[in-house]
């Protein structure tokens, strides 16, 4: 690489560490990147000059002498994170470091068309941007409950939304006036948990996300997200667990998501279209209140039996060290008793399941938005000074 390419790579590496660790000392940057102190100082100064980071003298003293300055993300730039669902469009503005600074849920009476979704998303992003006058929205990421081609954000199939072979990223970018990327929601939830949540440090992880549109998955292998040839890997929700089971929205029979639906859990506790936190709270309250053979217990036990079958195949195939459950699958896990939790991996080969642990998503209801934001940050972090040249012209609110 020439000198300019090396410098771009080093700036990106520094900014990525500041982003993922939500602040890091110069000394830690030096150790992590293997660069000398003067080079780190120069790179940090450039990023600060261009509005990406600030330096603070609030790091704890680790020994004799003056503490190393701490480099923290600046929120001058934000990205929009979007998650369209059958009953709501969830939109947030997210800062460097994965922090949600503004959020709005737009309720829907029916699944939106792509055109209607773009209209609602555009209006909502602009409204949220107006609440953050000191910052500018410079990119957007969309977490779609379906199969999305990663090269161009084209939705191949989102069955619950009724979207098939629909362009999404390009028309939304034209409406917002900023770069837009789109990917599968569960894949992005997996990225979020790996970066900031229950997946930190996991070399091999299986993530399962349960939402109104079904169940999706994400895979981390050797510490890296596994996308597949075109970005469709991880669709465990469409693994067949009962050949004689109900028809799934994808057209197959007996898929996991058809047998473990969020709507059935919500109906068992008397709710319509609850968010994740409300559903989990109601489920735990009902489990405590009713007898062991009550309808909520029965539904929880039924869904856990099918989930165990799916996990048996996944664990035998992947040998993961960590399984992370999000959405209504996290609520199922919290509602399960000790024996039910143990049963989820009991049918897998013992040697494959020996080191596997099951955890709930640490980011809760923010996981898909944080993941969508990660997608939006990718290009900006890869070339922070190159991205700057388009910020002023394309930021949301300027091109309106």
The pLDDT tens digits for 212-228 are: 889 999 999 999 988 88
Confidence class for position 59, pLDDT limits 50, 70, 90: low
Spatial distance between the Cα atoms of 265 and 259, rounded to a whole number of angstroms: 11
User: Which is nearest to 297 in space by CA: 268, 274, 277, 272?
Assistant: 268
Can you list the positions of beta strands (E) in the chain? 24-25, 53-56, 70-73, 77-84, 88-95, 99-107, 136-144, 147-149, 154-158, 163-167, 180-184, 205-211, 214-221, 224-225, 322-327, 357-360
Instruction: Answer yes or no: is pLDDT of 142 > 70.
Output: yes
Confidence class for position 1, pLDDT limits 50, 70, 90: low
Distance of CA 277 to the CA centre of its chain: 16
What is the predicted pLDDT for the residue at 229? 83
State the virtual CA torsion across 99, 372, 276, 293 in degrees, nearest 10: -130
Asked whether this chain's domains 3-73 and 199-362 adopt the same fold, the reply is no
CATH of region 77-187+367-394, choose from 3.40.220.10, 3.90.1310.10, 3.30.420.40, 3.10.20.440: 3.30.420.40
Q: What is the CA radius of gyration of the chain?
A: 22
What is the predicted pLDDT for the residue at 231? 81
199-362 belongs to CATH 3.50.30.60: no
Q: What is the mean pLDDT of the chain?
A: 92
Report the pLDDT averaged over residues 62-91: 88
Can you list the positions of beta strands (E) in 49-87? 53-56, 70-73, 77-84
Instruction: Answer yes or no: is pLDDT of 397 > 60.
Output: no
Torsion angles phi and psi, residue 117, rounded to 5: -60, -45
Using alpha carbons, list the distances in angstroms from residue 104 to 129, 228, 263, 284: 11, 32, 23, 26
Q: Where are the domains of the chain?
A: 3-73, 77-187+367-394, 199-362
H/E stretch holding 5: helix 3-21
What is the predicted pLDDT for the residue at 392? 47
H/E stretch holding 277: helix 276-289
What is the predicted pLDDT for the residue at 313? 94
First to last CA, the chain: 39
Spatial distance between the Cα atoms of 27 and 40, rounded to a whole number of angstroms: 9
225-283 confidence digits (pLDDT tens): 888 888 888 889 999 999 999 999 889 999 999 999 999 999 999 998 888 889 999 99
Spatial distance between the Cα atoms of 185 and 370, rounded to a whole number of angstroms: 11
Instruction: Answer yes or no: is pLDDT of 388 > 70.
Output: no
CATH of region 3-73, choose from 3.40.50.10140, 3.40.720.10, 3.30.70.3270, 1.10.10.10: 1.10.10.10
Instruction: Answer yes or no: is pLDDT of 300 > 90.
Output: yes
What is the predicted pLDDT for the residue at 63? 56
Instruction: Answer yes or no: is pLDDT of 10 > 70.
Output: yes
More confident residue, 372 or 398: 372
């Amino acid at each position: 690489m020439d000198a300019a390419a090396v410098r771009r790579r080093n700036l990106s590496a520094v900014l990525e560490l500041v982003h993922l660790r939500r602040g890091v000392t110069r000394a830690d940057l030096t150790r992590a990147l293997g660069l000398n102190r003067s080079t780190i100082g120069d790179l940090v100064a450039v990023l600060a000059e261009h509005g990406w980071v600030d330096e603070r003298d609030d790091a704890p003293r680790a020994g004799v002498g003056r503490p190393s300055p701490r480099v923290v993300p600046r929120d001058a730039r934000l990205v929009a994170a979007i998650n369209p669902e059958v009953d709501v469009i969830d939109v947030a503005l997210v800062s460097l470091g994965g922090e949600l600074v503004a959020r709005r849920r737009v309720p829907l009476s029916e699944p939106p068309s792509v055109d209607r979704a773009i209209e609602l998303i555009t209006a909502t992003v602009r409204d949220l941007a107006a609440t953050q006058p000191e910052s500018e929205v410079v990119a957007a990421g969309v977490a779609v409950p379906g199969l999305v081609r990663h090269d161009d954000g084209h939705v191949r199939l989102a069955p619950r939304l009724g979207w098939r072979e629909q362009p999404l990223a390009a028309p939304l970018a034209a409406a917002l006036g900023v770069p837009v990327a789109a990917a599968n929601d569960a894949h992005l939830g997996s990225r979020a948990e790996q970066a900031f949540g229950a997946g930190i440090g996991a070399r091999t992880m299986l993530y399962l996300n349960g939402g109104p549109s079904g169940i999706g998955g994400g895979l981390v292998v050797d510490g890296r997200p596994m996308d597949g040839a075109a970005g469709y890997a991880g669709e465990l929700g469409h693994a067949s667990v009962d050949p004689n089971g109900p028809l799934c929205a994808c057209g197959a029979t007996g898929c996991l998501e058809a047998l473990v639906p969020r709507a059935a859990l919500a109906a068992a506790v008397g709710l319509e279209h609850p968010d994740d936190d409300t559903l989990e709270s109601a489920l735990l309250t009902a489990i405590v209140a009713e007898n062991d053979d009550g309808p909520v217990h029965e539904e929880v036990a039924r869904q856990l039996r099918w989930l165990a079958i799916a996990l048996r195949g996944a664990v035998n195939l992947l040998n993961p060290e960590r399984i992370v459950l999000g959405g209504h699958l996290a609520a199922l896990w919290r509602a399960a008793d000790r024996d039910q939790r143990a049963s989820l991996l009991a049918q897998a080969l013992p040697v494959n399941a020996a080191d596997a642990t099951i955890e709930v998503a640490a980011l809760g209801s923010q996981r898909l938005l944080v993941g969508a934001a990660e997608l939006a940050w990718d290009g900006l972090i890869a070339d922070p000074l190159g991205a700057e040249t388009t910020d002023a012209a394309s930021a949301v609110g300027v091109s309106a």
